[in-house]
Amino acid sequence: MSVRTIITPDNEVLRKKARRVADFADEKLQRLIDDMVETMLDAPGVGLAAPQVAESQRVIVIRLPDDEESLEEYGRDAGILHVVVNPEIIKSSRDTVEGVEACLSIPGFFGKVDRHVAVTVKGQDRHGRDIRIKARDWLARVFQHEIDHLDGVLYIDKASEIWRASPEGEATEE
C-alpha cells in the first residue's frame, strides 16, 4: 500500500465524470482501494473519491474517526470503513440540513453546504458483491460529498458560503 498524491482543481481529472468499474478481478483496482484507504487515513480525512488521486473511476472510501469525541458524535458510524464501488444514491430524505464541509482537494477552506439528512446508497463492495447502505447525519453528508466527486462536482459548487481557515487551522468565518 502507498499514500497517493491528492490532486487539486488545477488537475482536470477532478472535474471529469468518472467511469464505472466493471472488472473486480483487476489487481489495479484492489491496489487503488488499498491506497485510497491509506491516503485517506494519512491525510487525515473522513472520505476520499478515486478522482482525488487522479483515477477517474467510480470508487469511494469513507471512515468517520473513532476517538472519544467522535464516538460520542457519530455513535455506531464511528470507525466503520466503507468501500463502495459504483455508488448510487437511490433514496434521499426530503429533509435537508446545512453543515460545514471541507475537502482534501481544496485545502485551507471550509464551506456551508445543504445536504439531505439521510440517503440510501447502493453499489458494490470491492469484490463486486451488491451492497446497500442507509446513512444518516454526518455519514450521509460524507456519502453525498464523495459521490458528487464521481461526477466532477465539488462542495464549493453547492456551498452557500465559503471561507478560509485561519493559519492555526481553526474555522473562522469571514
Q: Which residues are catalytic?
A: 146
CA distance 163 to 173: 6
Residue 146 C-beta: closest distance to Zn ion, Å: 7
Does a cis peptide bond (omega within 30 degrees of 0) precede residue 44? yes
Site residues (CB under 5 A) for Zn ion, limited to 153-172 = none
Report how many residues bind Zn ion under the rule CB under 5 A.
1
Question: What Å distances lie between residue 79 and 44, 90, 159, 171, CA to CA?
Answer: 13, 24, 27, 24
Please identify, using beta-carbon distances, which residue of 127 and 164 lies nearer to Zn ion: 164
Alpha helices in 55-104, H assignment, sequence order: 68-74
Residue 76 C-beta: closest distance to Zn ion, Å: 24
Q: Is 61 in the site for Zn ion (CB under 5 A)?
A: no
Site residues (CB under 5 A) for Zn ion, limited to 103-122 = 103
Max intra-chain CA distance, the chain: 49
Please identify, using beta-carbon distances, which residue of 85 and 104 lies nearer to Zn ion: 104
Please identify, using beta-carbon distances, which residue of 71 and 162 lies nearer to Zn ion: 162
* CB of 57 closer than 8 Å to CB of 19: yes
Query: Length of the chain in residues, anyone?
Result: 174
CA distance 67 to 19: 35
Residue 130 C-beta: closest distance to Zn ion, Å: 25
Q: How many CB atoms lie within 10 A of CB 131?
A: 15
Site residues (CB under 5 A) for Zn ion, limited to 65-104 = 103
Please identify, using beta-carbon distances, which residue of 61 and 85 lies nearer to Zn ion: 61
Residue 73 C-beta: closest distance to Zn ion, Å: 20
CA distance 5 to 152: 18
Residues at the interface with Zn ion (CB under 5 A)? 103
